[in-house]
Structure 1
Amino acid sequence: MKALVLAGGRGTRLRPLTHTSAKQLVPVANKPVLHYGLEAIRDAGITVVGIVVGETGAEVRAAVGDGSAFGLEVTYIQQEAPLGLAHCVLIARDFLGDEPFVMYLGDNFLLDGIAGLVDAFRASDHDAQILLTKVTEPQFYGVAELGPDGEIVALQEKPENPRSDLAIVGVYTFSPAIHEAVRAIVPSARDELEITDAITWLIDNGRRVHSHFVTGYWRDTGRLQDMLECNRMVLEAIETTVRGTVDAASEITGRVDIGPGATVRGSVIRGPAVIGANARIDGSYVGPYTSIGEGCVLEEAGVEYSIILADSVVRGVSPLTRSLIGRNVEVTRAVGLPDTHQLMVGDHSRVQLRA
């Protein structure tokens, strides 16, 4: 069995970060979301992986390499434009051959992995098995309707009036029958080959399409709140590890992972929190559920329930909360301008300031 990982797409909901970075590489607890997916695939017993990449392909290749660091053998498949999930299957035909495979959307986060889904598919005679979960707002997802034995009888794509509360999670298993389906469908109104249309084709042509339910925690990490919640869930499980240096004037409470070369001076860190390698925390407060990337600097600052990416500086600003700060960003206190805010903000950004 092989795996097809989708790591293209533009990530519009996480702009401006995704103007310059692949959405699948935004870190959770200082590890890219994509890496969690690759580890889940490996832990399910699959070692041959094709990664579909788009305009951020160079960055994805740099972050994953040949896959050997994950115990995988990785092949890259270039998608010239984001033409739909089914189009990814279409262009991966030569790589996939006639083997069954799992298709994994690289921005999905499943804390308990996919071994249960893969094992169930291997033990079945299904042509497709779709991972589902109950949601409170099904109108924002692809939605599945089930028959009495758990078979999928119909799909709706972001319906105004959902006929169920079962959302399609971004992980699927397929037999080679899917190749006929993706060749048979036509582009949708948004000019994409939709995987839901291909699955519907399987159903309409008498193929066996079954459901499998998520066990544990799942998030599509396409929005800020989802990223922060995934970060919180991962940090709940960390253990205290101090590989950097912490001076006697600092206070460390709770579970805190401090990376090699990091220094903490005159600061308070309340876990769970992760401080990346070579970061410097000076006279600052780091609160629970915070990930500080490698090479970051916090001086006379305060931050909690946030993610700060590598090589950024926060100086003289407190408190920051529920924030996602990109790489090489500088956040500082305005000087000489009392009672004002001084901003330089790029396109598609969002800033919330207390009046």
Structure 2
Amino acid sequence: MKAVIFAAGEGKRMHPLTLERPKPLVEVLGKPLIQHIWEVLPEAVDEVVIVVGYKREMIRDFLGDEFMGKRVTYVEQDEPLGTAHALRICKPHLENEKKFLLMYADDLHGKDGVARCVEEDFALLVSFVDDPRRFGVVVTNEDGTIKNIEEKPEHPKSNLAVTGVYVLSPKIFEYEALHTKNGEYYLTDMIEEYIRHNPMQVVESDFWVPIAYSHDIERAEEILEGLPRAN
């Protein structure tokens, strides 16, 4: 099984930490974010397709052609055209797969939640949050499949936040991100089209710490030091 990891962004919200290094190499408890993410990848994943852009050479130097027993394939996103574009340029590496895992090189996740997610054919890992307004919010059908996803709604219809972990099939490439915001094409638009034709299961996360700003690093370290990671 292959995993795709988005790691091309400049990480402007994390300045000054990301002025000298890409966000995936920012350390949490002495370990780069990308390594934390690698450690929760299921054993079934034997190859990682990683989308790189900003300071890509530093990520290549850290991961090499194989990292922690998993092959690494690099796809370069030369312009910041958004997450839908990042996935689409990975298509040649994914079109023969039955399904694949998709993650962002941003947040910390629990190993168990990711493992349960890949047990499904098509799934999205979600987390209950008190204030979901700064996240994508999932509304579900009675059978637990996704009805729709609202991007940072002012009045959320649920407390289920999108964690950025997906299990998708190559069918996703049949759908376009038609709407652009700030010149970028967003994955959420492709997912919205995808779930209109393909049921996607919701899987609840066991551990999720979103990292968007520099101060989130300190919070993440406090959580990791105080609570054991789920295995």
Scaled by the length of structure 1, what TM-score is found? 0.61
Aligned to 1:344: none
Deviation at 1:213, TM superposition (A): 0.7
Deviation at 1:203, TM superposition (A): 2.3
Aligned to 1:131: 125
1:189-248 Cα distance to aligned partner (Å, 9 max, x none): 2222211111110123x2112211101x2112122332112212333479xxxxxxxxxx
Aligned to 1:304: none
Aligned to 2:191: 199
Residue 134 of structure 2 corresponds to residue 140 of structure 1: yes
110-119 vs 5-14, which deviates more?
110-119
Deviation at 1:137, TM superposition (A): 1.7
- Contact 1:220–1:226 under 8 Å retained in 2: yes
Residue 19 of structure 2 corresponds to residue 25 of structure 1: no
Aligned to 1:225: 215
1:166-197 Cα distance to aligned partner (Å, 9 max, x none): 1100111101111112xx33242222221111
Deviation at 1:45, TM superposition (A): 2.0
Report the residue type matching 1:226 in the other structure.
D
Aligned to 2:225: 235
- Contact 1:23–1:222 under 8 Å retained in 2: no
Find the aligned partners of 2:56 and 2:103 in 1 and give their Cα distance: 17
Report the residue type matching 2:91 in the other structure.
R
Aligned residues: 226
| Bigger Cα Rg | 1
Choose which of 181, 184, 189 in structure 2 pairs with 1:189: 181
Find the aligned partners of 2:91 and 2:195 in 1 and give their Cα distance: 21
| More helix per residue | 2
1:240-297 Cα distance to aligned partner (Å, 9 max, x none): xxxxxxxxxxxxxxxxxxxxxxxxxxxxxxxxxxxxxxxxxxxxxxxxxxxxxxxxxx
Choose which of 201, 208, 212 in structure 1 pairs with 2:203: 212
- Contact 2:177–2:187 under 8 Å retained in 1: no
Find the aligned partners of 2:226 and 2:153 in 1 and give their Cα distance: 35
Aligned to 1:14: 14
Find the aligned partners of 1:231 and 1:67 in 2 and give their Cα distance: 27
Residue 55 of structure 2 corresponds to residue 56 of structure 1: yes
- Contact 2:135–2:162 under 8 Å retained in 1: yes
Report the residue type matching 2:215 in the other structure.
Q
Gaps of 5+ in 1: 239-355
Identity %: 32
Report the residue type matching 1:219 in the other structure.
V
Find the aligned partners of 1:86 and 1:98 in 2 and give their Cα distance: 19
Aligned to 1:116: 116
Choose which of 86, 89, 97 in structure 2 pairs with 1:88: 86
- Report SS of the residue matched to 2:181: coil
Find the aligned partners of 2:227 and 2:191 in 1 and give their Cα distance: 37
Find the aligned partners of 1:154 and 1:16 in 2 and give their Cα distance: 36
- Report SS of the residue matched to 1:16: coil
Report the residue type matching 2:51 in the other structure.
V
Report the residue type matching 2:45 in the other structure.
I
**CA RMSD across the alignment:** 1.6
Find the aligned partners of 1:192 and 1:53 in 2 and give their Cα distance: 16
Aligned to 1:171: 165
- Report SS of the residue matched to 1:76: strand
- Contact 1:102–1:171 under 8 Å retained in 2: yes
Gaps of 5+ in 2: none
Deviation at 1:135, TM superposition (A): 1.2
Find the aligned partners of 1:163 and 1:234 in 2 and give their Cα distance: 30
Find the aligned partners of 1:87 and 1:134 in 2 and give their Cα distance: 28
